[in-house]
Structure 1
């Protein structure tokens, strides 16, 4: 009696069919894998796409017009890179409380005007002296020179050795005297006008000339003495405190205009 074979209900694999992959668990730490088998990496979960088109973990790009980027509303300048209204590079604006240039002084003080008047008066008296000298006849000057030379024999000898007469000397002295008087009048006028404008150099020049003119106080005529005293008084008024403050203000205004 033949034994019945147990029926095999499993379908036999068909030819050409591929075996279904078997699920393999990831190896545990400390377990040795068979030779030729690589450990499987666990599948990473799908990440949600970034709304800015960037990978996760990165910051989105800054909006246009921020931190020096070109923006449409600023004409290529935006954020901290926008042009400054003061004409300087973007960033911090120039402080509004900067140093202001000093204002030009107005009318000169009373002391300066008094100095101007006194010096001009001295110049006017000097011009008067020149006119008087020009109107003096040569004969009158010759008579004065004859009296001077007659009182000193040594001067008579020098005059005779030079071959000159007192008339020639009188004419030459008259011409040169008038020229020097005209130069003196011009100096008085220039110093007076520049002092009124606040020039310190004019004050210094006038002081030097006033010191030299002190020599004329000894032995001079009354007109010459008055002229010298007027010039000295004008220079003194130019060195008073209000006058010096005016001169400093003019100097500062000129320095800022350069």
Structure 2
């Protein structure tokens, strides 16, 4: 308010502060103001408009990166053929895979551990085969363990026969270790035939307990525990989905 002798004072222009609307962009009216005649709002999709970051404005747009949103499917989560992994409760479509549950992954590792023990036995047989001192120690141990029989004495005295048996046992042991690892990989991918094959091998391996030792007990126990896990829920449903989506054999 002024008197006749006073010069009217200009009201200072309030700057942007809490509770006031600042300028959105050059030429854009503030809240509560009328737009000038002929004014056209800037396009939100034009990245060249001043003050508008556009769709690909990056960090200046104020939006988090795409990888921060739930359900983001990056390139690393795709299958080898470029398709996305199957998600949901239905059967697995051909060409896609279903993420293995924790129990199936655990069983697969147990089978691999049994395979590692089998491979270790093959390596030990190689030492027996190529180290004469180790072979002599093994033959003496076998003579002490086997009953006194002229047939056993003749067999253990035949060096060529012993060498042939060691070679055959080494090859079979290493091949069996490779089969263990191969089945473990297929089991993790949901191949039902691999699970069935593993069950058959686990049952056959029980025959090794007729002459038990710590090494054999641990190896057979790993396979048996793995099969028990694979034929219980949720592993049972996991393999059933693969059978439904890939045919009767579950490939």
Alignment map for 1:53-64 (pairs within 5 Å): none
Aligned residue in 2 for 1:113? 105
Q: Distance in 2 between matches of 1:183 and 1:176?
A: 11
Shift of 1:218: 2.4
Aligned residue in 2 for 1:203? 195
Corresponding residue pairs, total? 152
Aligned residue in 2 for 1:247? 239
Alignment equivalent of 2:182, drawn from 173, 176, 190: 190
The alpha-carbon distance between structure 1 residues 102 and 130, as it changes in their structure 2 partners (threshold 3 A), is closer
SS of corresponding position for 1:235: helix
Q: Distance in 1 between matches of 2:181 and 2:224?
A: 14
Alignment map for 1:84-99 (pairs within 5 Å): none
Does the Cα contact within 8 Å between 1:138 and 1:167 map onto a contact in 2? no
Aligned residue in 2 for 1:221? 213
Shift of 1:233: 0.8
Alignment equivalent of 1:181, drawn from 154, 164, 173: 173
Q: Distance in 1 between matches of 2:198 and 2:99?
A: 22
Aligned residue in 2 for 1:153? 150
Structure 2: 5+ residue stretches without partners: 1-89, 129-133
Aligned residue in 2 for 1:143? 140
Does the Cα contact within 8 Å between 2:97 and 2:189 map onto a contact in 1? no
Q: Distance in 2 between matches of 1:101 and 1:173?
A: 49
Higher CA-based Rg: 1
**Residues 5-57 of structure 1 deviation map (CA, whole Å, 9 limit, x = unaligned):** xxxxxxxxxxxxxxxxxxxxxxxxxxxxxxxxxxxxxxxxxxxxxxxxxxxxx
SS of corresponding position for 1:241: coil
Q: Distance in 1 between matches of 2:100 and 2:91?
A: 20
Q: Distance in 1 between matches of 2:116 and 2:92?
A: 37
Structure 1: 5+ residue stretches without partners: 1-99
TM score, norm. by length of structure 1: 0.53
Aligned residue in 2 for 1:168? 160
The alpha-carbon distance between structure 1 residues 135 and 216, as it changes in their structure 2 partners (threshold 3 A), is same
